[in-house]
Amino acid sequence: MNKNDLVTIVASKGGLSKGDATKAVDAAFDAIIEALSGKEEEVRLVGFGTFSVSKRAASQGRNPRTGEPITIAASNLPKFKPGKQFRDAVN
């Protein structure tokens, strides 16, 4: 499934036009991204799952070509943990 498929399903199940469904899907994605990137909050959708930010510390690595040590910068990674209802539906 891609974004267009999702928009089509939201439009048909919600009784919306495709344009309104696109706005709704985009707004939901934007809200999740804004909460994770700006405030680093968790986004909990009961029954679906939790989006959160995981902090990866800086570490040492090696350049595979030359073997020289390099520093890998610290970074933030988005994580998703599915809720029980979602896990049960998939299994």
Domain ranges within the chain, ordered by starting residue? 3-90
Does pLDDT of 38 surpass 90? Answer: no
Backbone angles phi, psi at 61, to 5 degrees: -135, -175
Mean pLDDT over all residues of the chain? 93
- pLDDT for position 39: 73
Classify residue 47 as left (phi > 0), alpha (psi -120 to 50) or beta: left
Overall residue count recorded for the chain in this entry:
91
As given in the structure block, the two tokens for residue 24 are 């709704």
Predicted TM-score (pTM) of the model is 0.76
Q: What percent of the chain has pLDDT over 70?
A: 100
**CA–CA dist 3, 81 (Å, integer):** 21
Q: 3-90 belongs to which CATH class?
A: few secondary structures
